[in-house]
Amino acid sequence: MKKVITYGTFDLLHKGHIRLLKRAKALGNHLTVCVSTDEFNALKNKHAYTSFEDRKYILEAVRYVDEVIPEKSWNQKIDDVIDNHIDVFVMGDDWEGKFDFLKDYCKVVYLPRTEGISSTKIKHDLGMKPK
């Protein structure tokens, strides 16, 4: 079993998220997604359109995802990697270098983001956010 983990809000699930999840799963044979709770999103100054419960429910339906757990704080990643016996930590490269401290515990991989799509762009385009 080669376990992969990734983190995020995954609001308004779109192709960029799916491509990240697909490539992350391909780095092993088990993918754990750690989804930001609504409370943690507030710490990230993010307001997700869908609740944690709904974002978790949606992710659990994605073929590449094996397990979904809550992300409640910035400093749970080392414990998550140890407790879940994780081999590979994956994030989009907008986070390049930010999680290199995990290299003491697992492989760290930053994948190129998918251009032209984001939850923020969707909200802008739908007129849900001020320009």
- Residues designated as active site: 44, 46
Query: Shortest approach of ligand C2G to residue 36 CB, angstroms?
Result: 5
Spatial CB neighbours of 73, under 8 Å, sequence gap ≥ 6: 40, 43
Instruction: Give the nearer residue to ligand C2G in terms of CB position, either 7 or 52.
Output: 7
Q: Which two tokens stand for residue 91?
A: 């994030």
Query: Shortest approach of ligand C2G to residue 89 CB, angstroms?
Result: 10
Virtual CA dihedral for 115, 21, 105, 71, nearest 10 degrees?
A: 90
Instruction: Give the nearer residue to ligand C2G in terms of CB position, either 46 or 123.
Output: 46
Spatial CB neighbours of 21, under 8 Å, sequence gap ≥ 6: 6, 31, 33, 59, 62, 64, 65
- 71 makes contact with ligand C2G (CB under 6 A): yes
Q: Which residues bind ligand C2G (CB under 6 A)?
A: 7-10, 16-17, 20, 36, 44, 46, 71, 91-92, 94, 113-114, 117-118
